[in-house]
Structure 1
Amino acid sequence: MLTIIAISLCYFVFAVLLNSVGTVILQSITTFDVSKTDASTLEGFKDLSIAFVSFFIASFIPRIGYQVALCLGLVLVAVVCLLTPLFAEFYFIKVLFAAIGTAFALVKISVYSLIGQLSSNTKTHSSLMNTVEGIFMVGVLSGYWIFSGFIDPNDPASLAWLNVYYLLGAMITIAAIFVYFVPIEREPFTGAQTGALSEFLDMLKLTYQPLVLMFVISVFLYVLVEQGIGSWLPTFNREVLGLPVDISIQLTSIFAAMIAIGRLLAGFLLRFVPWYIFINGCLVMMFLTILLTLPMTQVSDSQVVTGIFDAPLAAYLLPAIGLFMAPIYPLINSVVLSALPNKQHAKMTGLIVIFSALGGTFGSILTGVIFEKFGGQHAFYMSLIPIVMIMFSLFIFKKLSANRRSTLVKGA
């Protein structure tokens, strides 16, 4: 139980940091006067750091132990958070997100591997995965309100919002101390005799299999949609719906709340509903939510919003897509990981993290470019295309997994 609390606490604090990128994009545009295209690169500093570090260290983490990896990641980010208000420049915000990405690569691989140790079968693995990811979304939800509390509504361009990183640095330090003293069992590492290069190549070999290839394509497309919407929703609220900065951020918390609720509910419902039927139902509802809600985002210029309850209906309906989006990512991850021996979870998680990071970076930058050139509505309509592509990739994935589930890692 203490181990579950420890990994949940790590995921909570990183949820606040990782998913603050949407808020920080909006504040960077407002405070540092950068363009939308420049601001969108923050997602790249975060996600490409995750991908790069995961690519090279996924097979090494079992060597040093998951507890050490968690502590290293937490300490790194705590230090950079405490330095951020002192530098107060856009370039250091890039450094901050690069550090967050680097640390999260260590944390995510460790957490996913520990979930494998704590689970006895596919159902318990899916349930624990969704519960931990649900706690992650509670952290995301909390983060929007934490950040908005440091923004001066009368002077949104003020640098005072950077003081939030003192609070976050303290929270991460507490998490690091807790993880250090929790007795996390170190799984015996059996791959030391094969050599580091061999272990690294073993991870790459997984991508040669059609089943794994369709899986990573599905992950890439899903994260593309989630980050494209999640990272730009505060700016969408501000520029398309015309909401004040603080209210734009606060209403974005609905998106996080819906994902948190959806993942926590999925942890229960997936005990009774087949995963493939469940996930396709979610994708259809995502498609319909975008198609039916975006036409409602045409707001009259005369409408004045002074509080969250004055916001137009679309400001509440659009973030509700998170409820249907919620179970997809942890579920497809769990389907693959639960079929693997625990000793191979770190390698497969490395691939998950890499392709998730690439999808998040591409989704945020693509959305930012379309947002700047054609407007927020067109940018969000474009997410319909990858949603359809996910349905197609998961169909192939399901067909392959039915035939080759028992041989997923053959030759790895």
Structure 2
Amino acid sequence: MSTWRIRLSLFLNFFVFAILLNTVGIVIKRVIDDYGVSEAMAASLEAYKDLSIAVGSFFLASYIPRFGYRRSMLVALLAVTIASMGVAVITGFWITPVLYMTIGVSFALIKGAVYSTVGLITRDQGEHTSLMNLLEGIFQVGALAGPLFFSVVMGLHFSWNQTYWIVALLSALAYLLLLITPLDESEVQSHPEQAGLVEMLKLLRWPLVWVFVLCAWLYVMIEQSFGTWLPTFHERIFGLDKHIAAGMLSVYAGSIALSRFVMSYLSRRIPWLPTQLTMLGGAFVLIVSILLTTAGWQGTTVDSWVAVPPLAWVFSMMGFFIGAIYPTIISIVLNKLEKPRHAAMTGLIIIFSALGGTTGSFVVGFISRSFSTHDAFYFPLIPITLLALMLIPYKRLADRFHPASPGG
């Protein structure tokens, strides 16, 4: 089975959803200004997105093998194409919650189907890990491209909602590409008994799965701690102007993408555990060094990019040291499970990842309010250390795992 068109389709699917998921902050600001809604009502768009992802993952992801991977992706792409055109055409706040509910449920379908399809088109662990890192790297590129699309459209004096014509076009292209791309799902469809909500919950009988979800929870806690609060750190510690501080977040996202692209190449050539432990060690040393150096920092206001302190650039590159961990550990657990169980496992991945992101953002915010933003950034050292310690038993459990054994 030729896989290049399937791979291209998966890349485009992830790129489209990265744009949709990572521009909610822009949309929140625009609906406040254009539709006169309150900040609380506008902020509810985050809840519409996150809750629909969680609910969709819990109730739908495990049934994707029965419905079909290709069919699930086609339904998701068609839904967001129609929703995007709706936002572009209809003026009014009410259409935006509809958009984000559609995005959330559709993303649950897309992620479950994409992760599961990777298992069908790869031949071994190294190839699987390589493709997973490449997919997640493409997702980060989409996260960077989304705000740029909005910036260009608004810079040309069009309304922000006209950006969704671009999104609808990309989504429609992804739909048409997938429509003409064959995918052999016979290996999964021959085991319908391994799909369903009960099967997703039954995955938790294996110690490997428990250790994995803990690792995923810790990773997303680290990533979101930085992703949410790094602009605040840059403003309060380095004195960066707010637009520069926001722009530096793109450096962080870009460093995560770079890490995943590099690991996509290296994963077939070097063992994953020593690599990830080394990268986590680098993240730990970088955070400690930056925080010790900036203790009592009296930065002046920085309102131009050329005046950004080198330490701010270095701190924003933290994503390079952690970015490859998430797709790598996901690849390990999916490779150990039978392919019909991949979609159910993806449901657990999405749910526990959401919990980790919420926890990390909340804890850093709480410490910032109680002490200082500078002190709050010592917190990620805890999940970094715990994650490094958990990766060791995770590899041992994975090496001896057999799905026929309840004890893993």
TM-score for the superposition, normalised by structure 1: 0.84
Q: Which amino acid aligns with 1:252?
A: L
Displacement of 1:18 in angstroms is 2.1
Tell me the residue number matched to 2:254: 257
2:9 pairs with 1:12 = no
Evaluate the alpha carbon distance shift between residue 79 and residue 241 of structure 1 in structure 2; reply closer, same or farther with a 3 A threshold: farther
Structure 1 counterpart SS, 2:246:
helix
> Which deviates more, 323-332 or 365-374?
365-374
Q: Which amino acid aligns with 2:124?
A: N
Tell me the residue number matched to 1:59: 62
Residues 239, 300 of structure 2: 8 Å contact kept: no
Map of 1:366-405 to 2, 5 A cutoff?
366-371=363-368, 374=371, 376-402=373-399, 404-405=400-401
Residues 79, 169 of structure 1: 8 Å contact kept: yes
Structure 2 counterpart SS, 1:183:
coil
Map of 1:321-336 to 2, 5 A cutoff?
321-336=318-333
Map of 1:39-58 to 2, 5 A cutoff?
43-58=46-61
Tell me the residue number matched to 1:356: 353
2:203 pairs with 1:215 = no
2:164 pairs with 1:165 = yes
CA distance in 2, matches of 1:357, 1:363: 10
Tell me the residue number matched to 2:189: 189
Q: Which amino acid aligns with 1:168?
A: V
Tell me the residue number matched to 1:179: 178
Evaluate the alpha carbon distance shift between residue 43 and residue 316 of structure 1 in structure 2; reply closer, same or farther with a 3 A threshold: farther
Q: Which amino acid aligns with 1:142?
A: A
Give per-residue Cα distances to partners, 1:92-122, cap 9 Å, x unaligned.
Answer: 6555443322211111111111110011111
2:266 to 259, 265, 269: 269
Displacement of 1:11 in angstroms is 0.7
> Which deviates more, 368-377 or 380-389?
368-377
CA distance in 2, matches of 1:376, 1:150: 34
> Which deviates more, 367-376 or 319-328?
367-376
Evaluate the alpha carbon distance shift between residue 362 and residue 88 of structure 1 in structure 2; reply closer, same or farther with a 3 A threshold: farther
When the two chains are superposed, the root-mean-square deviation of aligned CA atoms in Å is: 3.4
Map of 1:49-88 to 2, 5 A cutoff?
49-84=52-87, 86-87=90-91
Structure 2 counterpart SS, 1:405:
coil
Percent identical = 37
Q: Structure 2: give runs of 5+ residues left out of the alignment.
A: none
1:406 to 396, 402, 405: 402
> Which deviates more, 265-274 or 230-239?
230-239
User: How many equivalent residue pairs?
Assistant: 401
Structure 1 counterpart SS, 2:169:
helix
Evaluate the alpha carbon distance shift between residue 11 and residue 217 of structure 1 in structure 2; reply closer, same or farther with a 3 A threshold: same
> Which deviates more, 248-257 or 367-376?
367-376
CA distance in 2, matches of 1:374, 1:395: 34
Displacement of 1:359 in angstroms is 1.8
Tell me the residue number matched to 1:318: 315
Tell me the residue number matched to 1:104: 107
Residues 241, 301 of structure 2: 8 Å contact kept: no
Residues 367, 380 of structure 1: 8 Å contact kept: yes
Evaluate the alpha carbon distance shift between residue 391 and residue 39 of structure 1 in structure 2; reply closer, same or farther with a 3 A threshold: farther
Residues 232, 245 of structure 2: 8 Å contact kept: yes
Q: Which amino acid aligns with 2:356?
A: G
Residues 240, 301 of structure 2: 8 Å contact kept: no
Residues 259, 319 of structure 2: 8 Å contact kept: yes
Displacement of 1:374 in angstroms is 5.0
Map of 1:330-349 to 2, 5 A cutoff?
330-349=327-346
Residues 336, 398 of structure 2: 8 Å contact kept: no
Q: Structure 1: give runs of 5+ residues left out of the alignment.
A: 153-157
